[in-house]
Amino acid sequence: MRRLMARRRHRFSFGRTARTLLVVGVMIVVGAALFQWSQHTSFVTALYWTITTVTTVGYGDVTATNPTSRIVAMVLMIVAVPVLGLLLADTASGFVEGRLRRMLGMSAKVMPNGYVLVLGWSPTARIAVDDLLGRNRHVMVVADVDALGIDHPHLQFLHDDPADENTLARVDLRKAAAALLCHDHDGDILISALALRNLAPKLTITAVPARRNTAAALAELGLLSSFPGDDLVGHVLSRSAQSPHAGPLLWQLVRDEDHRIAEEDPNSDEVGQSIEQVRSRRALRGEVVLGVLAAGTVRFALDQEQVQAGSRLLILRRA
pLDDT in tens, the chain (319 residues): 444 444 444 444 556 677 778 888 888 898 889 989 998 899 999 899 888 888 878 778 888 888 888 888 888 888 877 887 777 777 776 666 555 554 444 455 678 899 999 999 988 889 889 988 988 899 999 998 888 888 899 998 988 888 888 888 888 888 999 999 988 888 888 888 888 888 888 888 888 787 778 777 777 766 655 565 666 666 667 777 778 777 777 777 766 777 777 788 888 888 888 888 888 888 888 888 888 877 667 777 666 778 888 888 888 888 7
Reduced 3-state DSSP string for 189-254: HHHHHHHHHHHCCCCEEEECCCCHHHHHHHHHCCCCEECCHHHHHHHHHHHHHHCCCHHHHHHHHH
Q: Residue 261 forms beta bridges with which residues?
A: 316
- The residues, ordered by sequence, that sit 6+ positions from 314 with a Cβ below 8 Å of its Cβ are 261, 262, 263, 289, 290, 291, 292, 293, 298
Compute the half-sphere exposure of residue 235: CA atoms within 13 Å on the CB side of its CA: 7
Provide the CATH topology of domain 2-104. Helix Hairpins (1.10.287)
Alpha helices for the chain (secondary structure H):
2-8, 14-39, 43-54, 67-75, 81-104, 123-134, 165-169, 186-199, 212-220, 229-242, 246-255, 275-283
Provide the CATH topology of domain 258-318. Alpha-Beta Plaits (3.30.70)
Letter string b/e over residues 60-99, b meaning 16 or more CB atoms within 10 A of that residue's CB: eebebeeeebeebbeebeeebbeebeebeebeeeeeebee
What are the residue ranges spanned by the domains of the chain? 2-104, 115-231, 258-318
pLDDT at residue 138 in the model: 93
Are 207 and 181 a contacting pair, CB within 8 Å? yes
pLDDT at residue 15 in the model: 63
What class is the 115-231 domain? alpha beta
Q: Any idea what DSSP says for residue 285?
A: T
Give the span between the Cα atoms of 315 and 260, in whole angstroms.
Answer: 8
**Amino acid at residue number 290:** L
Compute the half-sphere exposure of residue 19: CA atoms within 13 Å on the CB side of its CA: 5
Bridging pattern class, strands 155-159 and 139-143: parallel
